[in-house]
Amino acid sequence: MTDEIGVLIADDQDLVRIGLRSLVESEDGMRVVGEAADGLEVVARAAETAPEIVLMDVRMPGIDGIEATRRIVADPALERTRVIVLTTFELDEYVFDALRHGASGFLTKDTKPAELLRAIRLVAAGEALLSPSVTRRVVREFSTRPSRTLKPHPHLGTLTDREREIVGLVGEGLSNEEIAARLVVSPATARTHVSRAMIKLGARDRAQLVVFAYQSGLVAL
Name the more confident of 42 and 176: 42
Name the more confident of 37 and 104: 37
Percent of the chain whose predicted confidence (pLDDT) is above 90: 52
Query: CB neighbours of 12 closer than 8 A, spacing ≥ 6?
Result: 37, 38, 57, 59, 60, 61
Task: Label residue 51 by pLDDT band (50, 70, 90).
Answer: very high
So what's the pLDDT on residue 167? 93
So what's the pLDDT on residue 213? 87
User: Which whole number is the average pLDDT over 191-214?
Assistant: 88
Name the more confident of 105 and 96: 105
So what's the pLDDT on residue 170? 87
Find the helix or strand (DSSP H, E) in which 56 lies.
strand 53-57
**pLDDT above 70: residue 142:** no
**pLDDT above 80: residue 221:** no
**pLDDT above 60: residue 50:** yes
**pLDDT above 50: residue 32:** yes
Task: Label residue 147 by pLDDT band (50, 70, 90).
Answer: low
So what's the pLDDT on residue 1? 42
**pLDDT above 60: residue 23:** yes
Name the more confident of 34 and 96: 34
User: Which whole number is the average pLDDT over 46-63?
Assistant: 94
DSSP H helices, the chain, are 14-25, 39-49, 65-74, 95-100, 113-124, 132-143, 161-171, 176-183, 187-201, 206-215
Name the more confident of 35 and 109: 35
User: Which whole number is the average pLDDT over 194-220?
Assistant: 85
Question: Under a CB-based contact definition with an 8 Å cutoff, are residues 51 and 31 in contact?
Answer: no
**pLDDT above 80: residue 59:** yes
So what's the pLDDT on residue 134? 60
Question: Under a CB-based contact definition with an 8 Å cutoff, are residues 114 and 134 in contact?
Answer: no
